[in-house]
Structure 1
Amino acid sequence: MSDLKVIDVAGQYDVVIGRGVVTSVADRIPEGALRVLIVHAPALQSVADALTGELAHRGLHPTSVALPDAEEAKTAAVAADLWARLGQEGFTRTDVVVAIGGGATTDLGGFVAATWLRGVPVVQVPTTLLGMVDAAVGGKTGINTLEGKNLVGAFHPPAVVVCDLSLLRTLPRADLVAGMAEVVKCGFIRDPRILELVADPGAALDIDGDVLPELVARAVQVKADVVAADLREASLREILNYGHTFAHAIEQVEHYGWRHGDAVAVGMVFVAELAHRAGLIDEALVAWHRSVLSSLGLPTEYRFDDDPQARWGALTTAMMRDKKTRGAMLRFVVLTGIGQTDRLEGPLPAQLYEAFEAVAIQVGTGTAGSGTSPQPVD
């Protein structure tokens, strides 16, 4: 692929993918802006400083704020602090928020932009693989509460998304691997070519190679196509949540100590096991989930140290708060084949628990499901 790829999302905004493109962010600030709030992950201070200097040189008034790390940024308290800053700086509807960081940063930055004056422009600059292929694209924004992940949020499409692949060099290896779960998800639900490309894990995870840029572009294209057909998740867009119902439950029960991508990997295996038990897919497709994910270094099992029934109860409670749940009925995005999706509504309790057993390992007892990868450590 060429060094620069631009993907249109529903005719509303572009996703710019390339190496070194972060230097063009100042050129992409929407016309008419005077004030710019730059929110960024702590490790990206130098990137934020460079943008601050460039914007000031152009006569704009930038303000830079370092956020707490990862999911700790996605709270009502942090959002309120940023609203206060916007008010103190006199931000108007033509002013802009720029979010530089991973999925938590872009989720929060987008949410603050969506809610200030009922909506100001946001420029998303994802710096993690997860952020590039998922969180920063599509216009979903949100914060977490004690009751669950992303239960408070808004749809707020960005003005532009700038994905600089060179920034992935700053990522810990475990974070790069975790981000690959969302790429694999796009392969299973829509683009089988992705599954072919990740068959060589070394090439897929090589930041300076040719395969990773194609994977990012293909995953973004999947999301762009789905979002264009269903901007507000009325129907089709739910397929982007493949594996996420169980994943979000893990994250909540583990107090957000798991990487999102790691939880999604286990969530995909869980829902594949569930679909198999419901007679929708064969055992070979379940095994393919495990093989693809484990070859990339992603977990395919869920380890815990308490009673399985108690843990299952906590996970079920968390899943009942999932956005796809209707009333008291759990709903899951499932596969009926590669690139073919459906909804499984109200699966039998026995099927659900059997799927849980297939991915569960109770630490210290030797009781194990059929997974093969260890639980990640953050």
Structure 2
Amino acid sequence: MQKSFDISSSAGRYGVEVGTGLLSRTLAANPDAIIICDRNLSGYLPATAAEPIYIDAVESNKSLEAAPSVIVALRQRNANRNTHLIVIGGGIIQDISTLAASIYMRGISWTYLPSTLLGMVDSCIGGKSSINVGGYKNLVGNFFPPKEILIDTAFIRTLDAEMVVGGLYEAAKICYARSFEDFRDYLDTKPSYPLDPDGAEAVILKSLTTKKWFIEVDEFDNKERLLLNFGHTFGHAMEAATNFGVSHGIAVGVGMLIAINYATRRGELGAVGIERTAALAGHVKSKLGDGKFSVVVSPPTIPIDGVLEKFTHDKKHRTDAYRVVIPRGDGALELVPQQRSDEVHADIRSAYEETIADIGWQFE
């Protein structure tokens, strides 16, 4: 059963629809559209579809250096200001396509069909592109929402355990960031792996309708929406330092654990906050598993010095202070400046080392 809602933005309202059969429907309705697609999904397109612009969904393609090849491919297909794009894929495909659509001939319309759970529960709405430059994660980007977002839950069947769990971490983060009550409501959707398309619908709708509040009250990341960086600052550093050997969704989950550890170490939590963050941490660790039951089959060894270097240069920090989203008091999230000092640096290192050891990963 299809379900839909709208998002308000400065560029106008755009619709979100969740259901099945949406891929074939939109391709049939837009025969002249240019398709940009994750190469791994080539077998899912109908034979009647026009030849897409294929992009390999690897982190190196989510970069400013790779963007010109997509722009040139659009030109070679005679795209003009009236051309409509249909974009099919996960976050990497979304990021590079958002950038390309926004700057090609000063902007052309597009439709997005996310193929990963992470894209379905989080990144598909909000209109942001986040592009890597010179090894630094998400250093540049812009806002350019699609005309519509169609979430075809049939794509869930293409995802392995790590991809599903990574998506669930983003959904848990969004709901916890809004309130502990929203997090409990999210748990009531029974998020788990395996996740069938029908069960996925409740998870997706809860996550997206919760994120809708953030992006409508703070479209351009000035205040409330910044809380959605929970887990990201700590997690992005691990992604970059391992050359993206830790996938984004898993990095966010582990990043939340590190943020909780750091907040506890700094004495930021009261009794209620300790209880609530323990519930979140327990959920994260239960989905990750450990040993031979871990969803991350071969986690990389985490180079702590390299992680701290990437953490230190995160774009969200200020010259004199780190800016991190951590739980405080009763467990609610806050964006907190932390003065750059030997003591703070030592606590950040300890939070990384203790958390990584706790989940059974290795560090050096």
Bin the TM-score by the shorter chain.
0.7 to 0.9
Q: Verify the 8 A CA contact 1:294 1:372 in the aligned structure 2.
A: no
Match of 1:10 in 2: 8
Q: How does 1:340-359 map to 2 (within 5 A)?
A: 340-347=332-339, 349-359=342-352
Q: Which amino acid aligns with 2:288?
A: G
Q: CA RMSD in A?
A: 2.9
| C-alpha contact (below 8 Å) 1:204/1:211 kept by paired residues | no
Deviates most, 103-112 or 198-207: 198-207
TM-score (norm 2): 0.85
Q: What is the match of residue 24 of structure 2?
A: 23
Q: Does 1:294 align with 2:292?
A: no
Judge conservation of contact 2:130–2:140 (CA < 8 Å) in 1: yes
Counting only pairs closer than 5 Å after superposition, residues 94-243 of structure 1 correspond to structure 2 as: 94-192=82-180, 195-196=183-184, 204-208=192-196, 211-243=199-231
| 1:42 maps to which of 36, 39, 42 | 39
How far residue 42 of structure 1 moved from its aligned partner, in angstroms, is: 1.8
User: 5+ unaligned residues in a row in structure 1: which ranges?
Assistant: 55-61, 361-367
How many residues get paired? Answer: 349
- Say if 1:201 and 1:296, in contact at 8 Å, map to a contact too: no
User: 1:197/1:356 Cα in 2 relative to 1: closer, same or farther (>3 Å)?
Assistant: farther
**Structure 2 portions without partners, runs of 5+:** none
User: Within 1, Cα distance between the matches of 2:331 and 2:149?
Assistant: 26
Measured at CA, do residues 127 and 219 of structure 1 come closer, stay the same or move farther in structure 2, by a change above 3 Å? Answer: same
Contact 1:124 1:162 in 2 (8 A): yes
What is the CA–CA distance in structure 1 between the aligned matches of 2:230 and 2:355, rounded to whole Å?
Answer: 21
**Alpha-carbon offset, residue 238 of structure 1:** 0.8
Provide TM-score, normalisation by structure 1: 0.82
Provide Cα deviations, 1:129-171, integer angstroms capped at 9, x if missing partner: 1111122221011321224111121111111111111211011
* 1:253 aligned partner, one-letter code: A
Deviation at 1:232, TM superposition (A): 1.2
Per the TM alignment, residue 199 of structure 1 is displaced from its structure 2 partner at its CA by 5.1
- 1:53 equivalent in structure 2: 48
Which residue of 344, 348, 359 maps to 1:373? Answer: 359
* Contact 2:260–2:327, Cα closer than 8 Å, also in 1: yes
Alpha-carbon distance, 1:268 to partner: 0.7
Distance 1:103-1:187 versus aligned 2 partners, 3 A rule: same
CA, structure 1 residues 140+369, in 2 after alignment: closer, same or farther (shift >3 Å)?
A: closer
1:266 corresponds to 2:254: yes
TM-superposed deviation, 1:116: 0.9
Paired residues of 1:191 and 1:339 also in contact (CA < 8 A): no
Question: Against the structure 1 CA distance between its residues 172 and 237, is the aligned structure 2 distance closer, same or farther, given a 3 Å change threshold?
Answer: same
Structure 2 counterpart of 1:290, one-letter code: A
Give distance in 1, aligned partners of 2:157 and 2:77.
Answer: 34
Partners of 1:272 and 1:334 within 8 A in 2 = yes
Partner deviation per Cα, 1:304-339 (whole Å, 9 max, x = no partner): 365xxxx24x32332233232123421012223678
